[in-house]
Structure 1
């Protein structure tokens, strides 16, 4: 799949045949099993994201692939045919059947990590882990608050926080499937699930949050900041509303609120991503990050997949199943 111009994904993305290059001595030939369609992928195609690949380009920033062949200088003790691998950096172009890739840009994933979990393991769970670790030292019993709690990052935050005995206040929008979504979030450990308007009342019995995680912006971000404890930190890692983050002056002066930003693609080297995966994979082997619901589409039906990924109030992550998927156990 490739796009030669920016625009609506379902319009500008085309399915094309491209000749594979030779496998160099330090390369690995892989067949992709599955690749998700993330909001950032759509933003890149639309030309609205800071990461701007040279055109024509193959979309897709994460996925899982099967090693078919390794180059003569690749360590056969680490990579061998049949291994599953994931990319260590963004911009790989994972929406394709096969690729020749540098071995040092890949990370081996154990076969007992479910395929769709592995395909969605390299962006959202690492982002969640960084959000919890890089800004505030959270002790067991501490409280955090987040909007967009039903997003993939939001769900990973809940699972990681629950494992650390950290309370979570989780804000989601009013939606037709509210009961189903809120029940799902509670089932993976959410302490409180509420709307923006009800967040203060719903969490009155809890310690004030030390950390707020914002992926929405606008009034939602302002409300998060107002709910923080003195000296609390709000971290913005997304802006789904396309509205600015506004922190009222009194919060800065009298509550010493701190505002930070985070983007995994620019704040995380390959070595750091590998270290994050070392922490996350044992959890994934025990079933973590598998609770989000997946909606799978064959690559031939990619237009339907792209349209579905653009719809609001989806019940799950849209994932492209690539031809090699049929050769593995999901």
Structure 2
């Protein structure tokens, strides 16, 4: 793994994605082989071949998190592609996957074999040594992927939910903030996903969106819009049944953020009420025209609790 990181960070190497995906795959294979050998589980198949990383990830006793598994599945897909295609030149687009892979590796090796084997001193700045200016960040964000890379990029997240993609064990998230500091102190710092600091970043420092623009509809607006777009009468009672059926918000007006489905609903602490998005209106209008889905929503019993 150290070799994978050192190669990736080498300024003279243009084969970064290809080399990292191959070496990291081997590193994880050796790590899990060692784990199973220590737990007296054979790492060999009936044909004498050792277990592949893919096979070990699918075992029910695999000792890594689901987010880590998804990260390694994505890495394997990239590794398989580099056997047939040159993918270099778009390395920054998958930095988040590679950074998560490094942090996951260090966490796993410590959990399985002890903190004395931590690679934190070698991997603490893995994949990112240079400071990045705002202009550079903008350049990375606006980078246009070639068609074959777009195809691979689409495959990486195929079948995954938004929650799985947002998992810090799958891909590492970095929050950039503007602070008053001297140039010598300006830097990018990586935080381990399982630490309280990472949780605070995930919960607090999120991309700000104006709720008035992203969720412009009150419950009465949603009721009216859905009723107008469908032939079946849609009432405020039905709307309550719908949000309870889909569990888009809690029943009270002092919700925790994790209880609100941000795609469809948001809570306004100042006004102590909820508003809803266009996606929510579209979903209800679609479901209300489907007799089976409509009946499921209508079947929801409302009570005082």
TM-score, length-scaled by structure 1: 0.22
Task: Give the TM-score normalised by the residue count of structure 2.
Answer: 0.23
Q: Which is bigger in relative contact order (C-alpha 8 A, separation at least 6)?
A: 1
Tell me which protein shows more strand as a share of its residues: 1
